[in-house]
Structure 1
Amino acid sequence: MAGHFNPDNHNHGAPNDQQRHAGDLGNIEANENGIAEFNLLDQRISLFGQYSIIGRGVVVHANQDDLGRGGQQDSRTTGNAGGRVGCGIIALAAQ
């Protein structure tokens, strides 16, 4: 997996920040069984055009993302979210 999807070259941020990586989609929390359900409507990313996420990766990090506000060395780039514990590629399903 590469770095955060950032076509506008912004600092890391929260999903509702005016300036953020296009791929900054916030935090999810898994239950005691490690299962998380997540539903997000985002106005920046899309399935087509400049902000298309098709072919891009989704990464689940070990720690909570500080949304660029933590003051750590990597807060402004990765949210100081720790190691990668899961990942996948976004694709359109064949019909």
Structure 2
Amino acid sequence: LTPGKHGFHLHEFGDTTNGCMSTGSHFNPKKLTHGAPEDDVRHAGDLGNIVAGSDGVAEATIVDNQIPLSGPDSVIG
């Protein structure tokens, strides 16, 4: 990564065969508008920014209550 802020989000699909073009839109099962990670109304996949250092490495710990791991809106699968 280049040093600085980078948007961090989940997409609909894990398909990267055509780069970002094949990943689909942001993960948004409830069809809401964009928002910040702390907003109740936002794409579930909108996770804010991460910051890469001068070495190009970004580290982050993200805890989020809008990304279900099971059920009909699960991000897994």
- Give the TM interval when normalised to the shorter protein: 0.5 to 0.7
1:28, distance to aligned residue in structure 2 (A): 0.2
Q: 1:17 aligns with which of 13, 27, 39?
A: 39
The Cα RMSD (Å) is 1.1
- How far does the alpha carbon of each residue in 1:64-89 deviate from its partner, in whole angstroms, 9 at most, with x for none? xxxxxxxxxxxxxxxxxxxxxxxxxx
How many residue pairs align between the two structures?
Answer: 55
* Matches for 1:18-37 after TM superposition, within 5 Å: 18-37=40-59
TM normalised by structure 1 equals 0.54
Q: Per-residue deviation at 1:18?
A: 1.5
The letter of the residue matching 1:49 is G
SS at match of 1:48: coil
The percent identity for this pair of structures is: 53
- Kindly indicate whether the alpha-carbon contact (under 8 Å) linking 1:44 and 1:51 is maintained by their aligned counterparts in 2: no
Structure 1 residue 52 displacement after superposition: 1.5
Quote the Cα distance in structure 1 between the aligned partners of 2:73 and 2:47: 13
Structure 1 residue 24 displacement after superposition = 0.6
The structure where strand makes up a greater share of residues is 2
Alpha-carbon offset, residue 46 of structure 1 = 2.1
Q: Which runs of 5 or more structure 2 residues have no equivalent in the other structure?
A: 1-22
1:25-82, CA deviations, whole angstroms, 9 ceiling, x for partnerless residues?
A: 1100100011010101101102111332114xxxxxxxxxxxxxxxxxxxxxxxxxxx
